[in-house]
Structure 1
Amino acid sequence: MRPAHICLAVLVAAVWGVNFTVIEVGLAHFPPLLFSALRFLAAALPAVFFVGRPKVAWKWIVAVGLVLGVAKFGLLFIGMDAGMPAGLSSLVLQIQAVFTALIAFAALGERPTGIRLAGMAVALCGVGLAAVDEGTGGPLGAFALVIGAAVCWGASNVLTRKASPPDPLNFMVWVSTVPVVPLLGLSLLTEGPSADLNALGSLDWQGAGVILYVAWITTVFGFGAWGWLLHRHPASTVAPFSLLVPVFGMSSAALFLGEPIGPMRWGAAALLAGGVALTSLAPGKERSGGPNTLDLRGVGIHEAGR
């Protein structure tokens, strides 16, 4: 990769890592489901009027929109609102690579190699260590919600692979239109109209800036830049940069939110990063001629931390 491309990849990882700290700030302004709905609304508008018509079937856009937008981000935002630290969330979400491999095996018949199985085991040990660390100072229920978000992320990765969008940015913008109404409906039902109206009525520059960051910077810029890199370099070259996301996530949370990072959490980070690297980057067994073959090296990393 050229030095400029390396810098761009690191920048995207930094943007996605810092995003978890920004989400934490946003949750002080908005109920979690309303916040997620506003994020996708801002990501979809006005971009949807400039990216052209959808280039894949609507069934894939709706499926990814519901699984990724409603389920994954709904669980993530609720989990963080319930007490899951921003830095730890950026770390634990990386277990999505393991769930992607497992779901690909169940849905597509992709058999993981021994190296990938070893990577899954190492990553799961990292999650276990992170759970022990969180159990000493935070709610395990919130931890479980973020794990659930990682499962949904893995499912959306497989759906995205099945969709095979020729234009990733076009696909992401149209996917962003799907979660808005379901998330708003769920927010009205569970968070209440008064909480939503109070949040919108008290919107200030910081709240607006948070929405713009998570929508335009992490989604439109981040996804567009990552897709641009993947079009110009092998996925196995670009993918390792996604392992920097938890580094920036944990560091920014410690710097701006004062979140402690003890030895146990650094140990969990090392195990997760190593396990995810083995799971995502190791060569896999592919079915000859199979149109549904899943290459984990290019799946599941474009959305990291958003």
Structure 2
Amino acid sequence: MAHSHSHLWPGVPLALGSALLFGLSAPLSKLLVGAIDPWLLAGILYLGAGLGLAVLARARVALGLPNEEAPLSRRDRPWLAAVVLFGGVLGPLFLMLGLSLTTAASASLLLNLEGLATMAIAWLVFRENVDRRLLLGAAAILAGAMLLSWNGAGLSLDAGGLFVAAACLCWGIDNNLTRKLSSADPVQIAMIKGLVAGCTNLTLALAFGAAWPPATLVGAGAVVGFLGIGLSLVMFMLGLRHLGAARTGAYFSLAPFIGALVSVLMFRETVTPGLVSAGLLMAFGLWLHLTERHEHEHSHDALAHDHAHVHDEHHRHSHDGPVTEPHSHWHRHEPLRHKHPHYPDLHHSHSHG
């Protein structure tokens, strides 16, 4: 059976959509950070993400809409706990500690380490496939992000800088561990992460003396969190399902440029040579990734798992009665050998010689 669509779909649009939403959240948060304690704002953003997704999930049930995604299973719980710990608790905590001890310029530069950490862990620890084209594209995107946040003040590797670097390492671990959950319902996972991380950060911020802001600002922060963290995370997880952590992380690294571009429009900031240069570097990196074509004969071992799917060349199992697609259920893949363009997704984690 031939593929009916490009191997770029839907993974690449999902990863870029995630970067777009997260990038938009930066200038919108900038409007709030002057009036809300940064740590408290982090809690409000995450809690807004969790509550917004909870409302979305409840509305889906109330309207009787089908949910084709696989629910979280007992074997997912340790991965979910690790994702919440690294991505929702330790990451924001280390960032807040870092911001209190180092300059904003250094923090902005060091935050780009998240993309590098995500890709490095994916390639070195989880052995995702990588070649020179991908490395060059990732390097161009990261170089553009670094250039975008450079303001000539230099990079300070003081205690604060180490905390920011630790936050990026936590988020890199989070992004890779999240791939372990990418076959399950992304709304459910992002909702749990948002609620737990939001409540934790909110409690800690208030315990350390943060003042509670007016209700209108809290509501605005919650909406920004729902869009820029909640929906963005759902799309990021779906991107992981189709692209793997390294490529999804590379596309997500475009978020700083999106945020900077929106800031230029919102705050009438000057279009600097650095912004133009960063855009060109990122466009070059994006082109290298979009034009990647990884195709070779490969083997699929027998595999049993549960995730949303349609009946294609990787899903040839039968059903007792008629079904709608996509749908999810526990199913088994028989060994298969074939050739087609692919990414390191749920079904293509094979090694390369």
Q: Give the structure-2-normalised TM-score.
A: 0.59
Which of 161, 175, 180 is 2:193 aligned to? 175
In 2, are the aligned partners of 1:12 and 1:226 still within 8 Å (CA)?
A: yes
Q: Give matches, 1:74-223, under 5 Å.
A: 74=93, 84=104, 96-130=114-148, 133-136=150-153, 149-184=167-202, 186-188=204-206, 192-193=208-209, 196=210, 199-200=211-212, 202-205=213-216, 207-223=217-233
Deviation digits for residues 200-239 of structure 1 (CA, Å, limit 9, x no counterpart): 1x4142x1243222222223444456777999xx759x97
* Distance change >3 Å, CA 183–CA 281, structure 1 → 2: farther
In 1, are the aligned partners of 2:46 and 2:230 still within 8 Å (CA)?
A: no
Amino acid at match of 1:66: L
Amino acid at match of 2:83: V
Deviation digits for residues 99-135 of structure 1 (CA, Å, limit 9, x no counterpart): 222102332233521222223443454355446x323
Give the structure, 1 or 2, with the largest relative contact order (CA under 8 Å, sep 6 or more): 1
Alignment correspondent of 1:267:
277
Amino acid at match of 1:105: W
Which segments of 5 or more consecutive residues in structure 1 lack a partner in the other structure? 299-306
In 1, are the aligned partners of 2:115 and 2:253 still within 8 Å (CA)?
A: no
Which of 21, 25, 38 is 1:19 aligned to? 25
Tell me how far 1:158 sits from its aligned partner: 0.9
Amino acid at match of 2:151: E
Alpha-carbon distance between aligned partners in 2 of 1:118 and 1:259, rounded to the nearest angstrom: 30
* Distance change >3 Å, CA 186–CA 165, structure 1 → 2: farther
Amino acid at match of 1:38: I
The answer on 1:33 being equivalent to 2:39 is yes
Amino acid at match of 1:153: W
* Distance change >3 Å, CA 151–CA 28, structure 1 → 2: same
* Distance change >3 Å, CA 253–CA 210, structure 1 → 2: same
Counting helix residues as a fraction of each chain, which structure ranks higher?
Answer: 1
The answer on 1:248 being equivalent to 2:258 is yes
In 1, are the aligned partners of 2:53 and 2:190 still within 8 Å (CA)?
A: no
Aligned-CA RMSD value: 4.7
In 1, are the aligned partners of 2:48 and 2:221 still within 8 Å (CA)?
A: yes
In 2, are the aligned partners of 1:123 and 1:272 still within 8 Å (CA)?
A: yes
Amino acid at match of 2:121: I
In 1, are the aligned partners of 2:21 and 2:227 still within 8 Å (CA)?
A: yes
* Distance change >3 Å, CA 273–CA 179, structure 1 → 2: farther
In 2, are the aligned partners of 1:14 and 1:248 still within 8 Å (CA)?
A: yes
In 1, are the aligned partners of 2:48 and 2:223 still within 8 Å (CA)?
A: no
Alpha-carbon distance between aligned partners in 1 of 2:239 and 2:168, rounded to the nearest angstrom: 24
Alpha-carbon distance between aligned partners in 2 of 1:60 and 1:122, rounded to the nearest angstrom: 32
Tell me how far 1:249 sits from its aligned partner: 1.0
* Distance change >3 Å, CA 211–CA 101, structure 1 → 2: same
In 2, are the aligned partners of 1:95 and 1:127 still within 8 Å (CA)?
A: no
Tell me how far 1:75 sits from its aligned partner: 5.2
Tell me how far 1:61 sits from its aligned partner: 1.5
Aligned residues: 278
In 1, are the aligned partners of 2:48 and 2:226 still within 8 Å (CA)?
A: yes
Alignment correspondent of 1:68:
87
Deviation digits for residues 142-196 of structure 1 (CA, Å, limit 9, x no counterpart): 887766554433222210112233211111111223323442454356xx22xx2
Counting strand residues as a fraction of each chain, which structure ranks higher?
Answer: 2
In 2, are the aligned partners of 1:42 and 1:211 still within 8 Å (CA)?
A: yes
Alpha-carbon distance between aligned partners in 1 of 2:257 and 2:120, rounded to the nearest angstrom: 25
Amino acid at match of 1:70: V
Q: Equivalent residue of 1:109, what SS?
A: coil
Deviation digits for residues 26-69 of structure 1 (CA, Å, limit 9, x no counterpart): 22222222211222223223744746974462212221112222
